[in-house]
Amino acid sequence: MAKITAAITGVGGYAPEYILTNEEISKMVDTSDEWIMTRIGIKERHILREPGMATSDMAVEAILDLFKKTGCKPEEVDMLLWCGVTPDMPFPSTANIISDKLGVKNAFGYDINAGCSSFLYTLATASKFVESGSHKKVVVVGADKMSSIVDYTARNTCPIFGDGAGAALIEPNTDGLGVIDAMLRVDGSGRKYLFQAAGGSLLPATMDTVLKRQHFIFQEGQPVFKAAVSNMSDTTVAMMQKHGLTADTLTWLVPHQANLRIIKACADRANLSMDKVMVNIERYGNTTAGTIPLCLWDYEKKLKIGDNLIIATFGAGFTWGAMYLKWAYDGSTRG
């Protein structure tokens, strides 16, 4: 019997309507379009402003787009995984809430949080269920309402993040397409550089935690920057070497979108020209679990059967990794 691999057979995406520009951020904190563009490479980000709207609502929109494009029906889904750092609430899981809103009734699902590596970790998890033959239509959705934990008085973090969602359908493949390999890593000693201090069991919400702004993202940028460049580059290069991929045979690098300088450094280390690298950070900022699927969504039309892709991520934890996959469908045929 032919080996079963797990292939992405469709992607969907969603970005909220409201666009927060660098000009607007420059009125909130002491910064400028020039600083943000030069140091990070972000021009604008989408923000979910409507009251009562949460991460699950963006995830639902991305999955509806996925359903529309693939013809998959809610009742056919047998597993649904949400990943990210901004669940609707600590429990029940956001996967539960999304399943209910979509009418996904024949599935099981749960949440995965691996910081900005969430989508990659979750894709790797989903692929194991598909490869084993136990699951046939798995929805992986990366969605984050980062604006719910961004401190808009902190200039070192507020320009970076945006809200958004991206979803992928994972199905079995017997033609050798889909996920070929994944290298995933965690190093908890990096947790002191990027975190949200309060709201968990260590520091439950009190007046004091709110007054100290501990429910917002804390980031020490430089150590995160350095670790992101070295770890994303190292795993990308290691994956290329392991599979004999060169700058000619690798079709696309799909890097986490945290900082254009990190992306360029990574491409440089892998000896790749930037026209082989998916980049959309300028329009979305860092949407955390959303960056990878939103890249695939934006570049879908250019993707062809058999294209060699490496997805590379780095995030809070620290978490990082690289995945090698062979693209499984002709993106230009999707609406």
List residues binding ligand UT7 (CB under 6 A). 31, 35-36, 39-40, 116, 155-156, 159, 221-222, 224-225, 228, 258-259, 262, 286, 314-315
Q: Which amino acid is at 86?
A: T
Please indicate whether residue 158 is annotated as part of the active site: no
Q: Taking the complex as a whole, how short is the minimal distance between the CB of residue 134 and ligand UT7, in angstroms?
A: 32
Q: How far is the CB of 224 from ligand UT7 (least distance, A)?
A: 4
Minimum distance from residue 219 beta carbon to ligand UT7 (Å): 6
Among 173, 286, 295, 308, which one carries the catalytic annotation? 286
- Compute the distance between CA of residue 33 and CA of residue 35 in angstroms, rounded to an integer: 6
Name the minimum Å distance from CB 103 to ligand UT7: 33
Nearer to ligand UT7, 104 or 295 (CB): 295
- Tell me how far, at minimum, the Cβ of 196 lies from ligand UT7, in Å: 13
Is-catalytic flag, 116? yes
Measured at CB, which residue is nearest to ligand UT7?
221
> Out of 256, 266, 295, 308, which one is annotated catalytic?
256
How much of the chain is helix, strand and coil, in % rounded to 5? 40, 25, 35
Tell me the closest approach of the beta carbon of residue 30 to ligand UT7, in angstroms. Answer: 7
Maximum Cα–Cα distance for the chain, whole Å? 62
Of 137, 36, 116, 138, residue with least CA distance to 286: 116
Coil, helix or strand for 267?
Answer: helix
Decide whether 172 or 190 has the Cβ nearer to ligand UT7. 190
- The residue (of 137 and 256) whose beta carbon lies closer to ligand UT7 is 256
- How far the first Cα of the chain sits from its last, in Å, is 34
Q: List 324's β-bridge partners, or say none.
A: 181, 310
| Single-letter residue type at 119 | F
Three-state DSSP at 247 gives coil
Handedness of CA 298, 150, 316, 54 (dihedral sign): negative
Q: Which residue's CB is nearer to ligand UT7, number 228 or number 245? A: 228
Which of the following is catalytic: 116, 158, 266, 295?
Answer: 116
Which residue number, 194 or 270, has a Cβ lying nearer to ligand UT7? 194
Cα–Cα dist 204/123, whole Å: 31
Q: What is the DSSP string of 210-244?
A: HHTTTTSEEE-HHHHHHHHHHHHHHHHHHHHHHTT
CB closer to ligand UT7 out of 101 and 155 = 155
Amino acid at site 135: H
Q: How far is the CB of 41 from ligand UT7 (least distance, A)?
A: 9
DSSP secondary structure string for all residues of 174-201: SSS-EEEEEEEEE-GGGGGGEEE-SSSS
- Count CB neighbours of 101 within 10 A: 15
Q: How many CB atoms lie within 10 A of CB 311?
A: 28
**CB nearer ligand UT7, residue 237 or residue 258:** 258
Give, in degrees to the nearest 5, the angle at Cα 120 between 109 and 218.
Answer: 95
Catalytic amino acids?
A: 116, 256, 286
